[in-house]
Structure 1
Amino acid sequence: MPLPTAEHHHIVFLQGSVLQIPQFDLPAPFTYSQTVYPWTSSAEIPDRVRDASIIILSAARVDAAVLSPDVTPHLKLIVMVASGFDCIDLEACRKRGIVVCNCPNSNIEAVSEHAIGMYFAARRKLLDMHLSTRAGKWKEKGSLMFEYLDKDGTPPLTCQDEVAGIIGNGSVGKRIAALARNLGMKVLISDRKASTTADSFRVPFDTVIRQSTVLFVAVPLMDSTRNFISTPEFEAMSSHAVIVNVSRGGTVDEEALVHALRERRISGAATDVFNGEPAGPDTSPLLAEDAKDLNIIATPHLAWLSQRTSVNYGSKLKIAVEAWAAGQPVNVVS
């Protein structure tokens, strides 16, 4: 395997098993070789990227240590085959002049549909109903209706009675809003927590928190959004509220969410993302043993998974690498 030179790039795929790997058409005089790893653990990253000038990844932490010239002396480009890029130390990349690109708007349909599916699962407690029915509790008790009433003894809301709050007015937020409207929900939209003024499209953040009966979180993770849904927000929410997080782990305070559910301040929660991933009972209070009786629907950061997403990722990955090699990089985040 030839080492990278001024005219030759070596591309390393860290999670090749989840990607449609394209054939790159680099402009002359550039050539490339590639190494495809089906999956890569954090511990394996330094050795695997040592000879890379281009790294392709979808879910791995690339920190300042990996980005040290001693570890990645040839590195010039990182392509994140995802919308989010918080797993990459962008400041370390800036210091070395390493370009970082992502593949935005590739998973809009899948993530928004997953969010709506999680809403239904949490609002109607579908998983618990399924498990109880499978366990024979319906036959044993004759009726399970009274186990699935809200805490005030009322049945669950239907879409026509829901007020859907959308936190984040990006592509996914807009798509969730459209689906919610089509289901008959009233929709309120707020960009971020700092939003305090209303216009024809958005209402203040605090208003969305207070009035929503289902809250969809669809924002990137950054300093301004870390734990920005926490105890004050849960205390202000409707007791009927269900929160659905398809953005990034760390945007919703997991400890505060568990406390709000345990105290029955809100009705339920659904999340595809966790503060530490991959997540398990020993790393997330949402999955802990003492949270099993709470109305929490959890999925393993796979809201993006669909045939359409895979095609979009492959196409945008190809464009990202070829455009950068031609000196016209696209979707640059650093």
Structure 2
Amino acid sequence: MNNIMQKMIDWIEDHLVEEFSLKELGSHMGYSPYYCSFKFHQMTGITIKRYMSLRKIYLASIDLKESDQKMIDVAHKYGFSSQEAFTRAFKITFGTSPAVYRRDPQPLQTVVKLNVTATKGGFSMDVSEKMKIVALQNKAQQQFDRDILNVLNGQLMYEEFSHEKLMEHSDYVPLNEAMCSNKTTKPIFSTEFIKVRAKGHRVSTEEYETKVINALKPLFKNQYTCIILWFGNDMFCQINMLTLLAYLEEQGFKGKVYFHMVKEIERTFEVEEIEIELGDFQDVYDQVMIHKQWPTKNVMPVMYQGIKLYLEYQMQENELTSYIRNHLDMPQNELIRQLFKLFPQYGIGDLQYIEMIEKVKNNR
């Protein structure tokens, strides 16, 4: 069935910018339109219409960034009836207008073509082989010499960076957290924060301090002129990064902050850099992560997307729980592999998925 579904996805991708009906898709696949629609949603957790909409708006963002095409031409190319309709869809997806994005391109969450037949999951990252960071390394050295702290999302990336000295002699620390799960509080990394987070993870405060706090000790010294945050564009990474940015504001950090967004494109890793201005992240952290509310402050598009997914993730019923409920007959390891494959935008790990699967089972 995966091969049939991939054939369907390939056909949709080949006709993405065309107007086609489910009847035409069904005719190509040899199935009824209803069956094609039903199986696509069942196996991918997303409707054909939604998949096409996300893919087209993402491809349109690339055209805006990399070409001189008129905005109305980009809109028509991807099937929007008017520039106004294109602007509405773009803003709903990315939290900013296409005109603003074209003037000042900001990192976005990638929406790649679905691949349901891939056997290799995205569970590891060989940074030294996959990322081209020489230019970023030279730039950082010229600007800040050794007064740089690289904060890396997780132990795996930390070990790769520190072992390979990918940013030369600057310092490295990992954020070994999953801030998208469980309750949180403030001040960030305070004694109360440690108690709340340890309880949520069901570990002792001593275990939490060993894994999370001790690893971050250089960050607490506040001795750097530049902090570089190496995080992905998924929800997991963006919520972790929001926590760090709010912490830097709490501490009154006065140096430069850069976000090096690590994104996977066709099995290779690329890095996109943006300088971040501190100012509103404490408010956003408070509204989003403590009160589970939509922020009143503007954030960059990739964080906007991460927050949107985070607030949906907090709901008892969401696209992840729906997919899990429809596939509980699948062996757990296979179900987790499918979740990794189909929902990379969340970026959550196997432990979070196992907990989610158990909750869905218990709520049947």
Q: Give TM-score scaled by structure 1 length.
A: 0.36
Larger Rg: 1
Normalized against structure 2, the TM-score is what? 0.34
